[in-house]
């Protein structure tokens, strides 16, 4: 008799708005979620099977730390099969090109680009066994951005490029795709517009859909990309922008 093994998914940035939605949607679809975040403890509403603290900045810098983390990850998911890795965690440090400190640039690239690559690289042997999937949460800023987002936008553009290029290396055994959301209704977004209801409504109106996206919409797309139903989607960077990526901004 064949024993059904646990279907594991690893999600970084699990405590954030999109991260929490990812954990919930993957759990609802029958997966065991290994949730990773910088905080020592999970948020109270986080739906997960196992939680681990992970400093992605240190993970990208310190090989000994990374190897220790990798051993813990492999040990945890060894009770089943690793079906997907979702590289969701990111930092958004806003600074102008004229004044940006090296520390801002370096941390952004380490957390948003280097760590997802090295974590993906470490999980490749497990994902190859299951013909699994890697989903990178990129951003509309990969192609369209605004002032003071140079570090963040560059990191997301590179993450989308990484997705396309790794697909060539990985071939048929592992699928890798990215989601490029526009504004998503997270606690962080709402906090940035606290006391500015009119500005928030203006942000919503900029999207042809008349609203910003929800974390669950991003998460459900990630669940689909991890599934067999998305079996021919490889190296894609999928826009989830409510149509704003097609808008021309001009004075008219």
Q: Are 177 and 240 in contact (CB under 8 A)?
A: no
Q: Which of 59, 65, 131, 152 is catalytic?
A: 152
DSSP for residue 184: B
Terminus-to-terminus CA distance in the chain, angstroms?
68
**Range 194-212 burial, b when 16+ CB lie within 10 A, else e:** eeeeeebeebeebbeeeeb
**Residue tagged 């599934």 (tokens):** 227
Determine whether 29 is exposed, middle or buried from the number of CB atoms within 10 Å of its CB (0-12, 13-18, 19+).
middle
59 is catalytic: no
Instruction: Please give the positions annotated as active site.
Output: 152
């Amino acid at each position: 008799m064949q024993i059904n093994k646990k279907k594991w998914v690893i999600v970084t940035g699990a405590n954030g708005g999109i991260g929490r939605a990812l954990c919930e949607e993957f759990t609802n679809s029958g997966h065991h979620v290994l949730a990773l975040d910088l905080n020592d403890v999970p948020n109270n509403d986080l739906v997960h099977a196992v939680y681990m603290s992970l400093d992605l900045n240190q993970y990208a810098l310190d090989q000994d730390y990374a190897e220790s983390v990798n051993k813990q990850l492999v040990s945890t998911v060894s009770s089943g099969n690793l079906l997907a890795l979702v590289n969701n965690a990111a930092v958004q440090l806003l600074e102008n090109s004229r004044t940006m400190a090296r520390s801002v640039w370096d941390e952004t690239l380490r957390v948003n680009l280097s760590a997802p690559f090295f974590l993906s690289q470490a999980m490749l042997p497990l994902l190859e066994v299951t013909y699994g999937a890697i989903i990178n949460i990129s951003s509309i800023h990969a192609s369209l951005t605004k002032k003071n987002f140079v570090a963040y936008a560059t990191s997301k553009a590179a993450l989308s490029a990484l997705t396309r290029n790794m697909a060539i290396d990985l071939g048929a055994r592992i699928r890798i795709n990215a989601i490029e959301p526009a504004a998503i209704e997270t606690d962080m977004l709402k906090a940035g517009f606290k006391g500015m209801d009119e500005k928030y409504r203006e942000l919503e109106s900029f999207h042809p859909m008349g609203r910003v996206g929800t974390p669950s919409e991003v998460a459900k797309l990630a669940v689909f990309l991890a599934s067999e139903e998305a079996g021919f989607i490889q190296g894609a960077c999928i826009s989830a922008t409510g149509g704003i990526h097609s808008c021309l901004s001009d004075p008219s």
